[in-house]
Amino acid sequence: MTSDRSSAVSVDAARDVAAPDWHAAVAQARDDGFDYFDWLGCVDDVGRSETFRVVLMLRRAGSFEAQVLTTRVSREDPRLDSIGDLFAGAGWHERESAELFGVEFVGGDRRRLLLGADIEGAPLRKDEVLAARTVEAWPGAKEPGETDASPSRRRMVPPGVPDPDVWGDRDPAAPEPTAAEVAESAIGGRVRRRTR
């Protein structure tokens, strides 16, 4: 069997761009021939840094070459210039990242895209607690036949719900948890105790 390497996408290493230079760097990539918008997405880097990483893939039309640009925006003030004026297709992707991660794309379309107007917060942030996970009882809390009075069973939480000692019914005198602590405690399983 022979392999056809001509169909493989050629992607250079992702190029990191400072957030203030984002729009200019994307415009330069477009001018360098990467004039086909492929996709834009957002990654929550909680636990590694206090940033969101915005990732953009552009392609050279008619070839398999691609350029990946990344930038980081602060969790405290996640703002980035919109590239909707450079690539009309970027508008949908920016609106999606704005709703799901809370990143504001300055100069972009601010209308809601996926979530209803009554939804607050940014559901794909790792430190965001999903209300639906806290309202319903988690089926892993008890085994069949066990009762609420089973003293030997340790409490369990579902994936996506932070440990109550970190978020929720925690000691009011305890220090406020960091975003990284909340995200780390939301992996589900046995309830863990804070080390501080």
CATH number of the domain at 5-106, please?
Answer: 3.30.460.80
What pLDDT does 118 receive? 84
Q: Where are the domains of the chain?
A: 5-106, 126-196
For the chain, residues with pLDDT lower than 50 are 1-7, 141, 143-144, 146, 150-153, 194, 196
What pLDDT does 7 receive? 46
What pLDDT does 160 receive? 66
What is the rounded CA–CA span in Å between residue 14 and residue 26?
13
For residue 21, CA distances in Å to 40, 77, 111, 186 come to 17, 17, 25, 34
Does this model's pTM top 0.85? My answer is: no
What pLDDT does 3 receive? 42
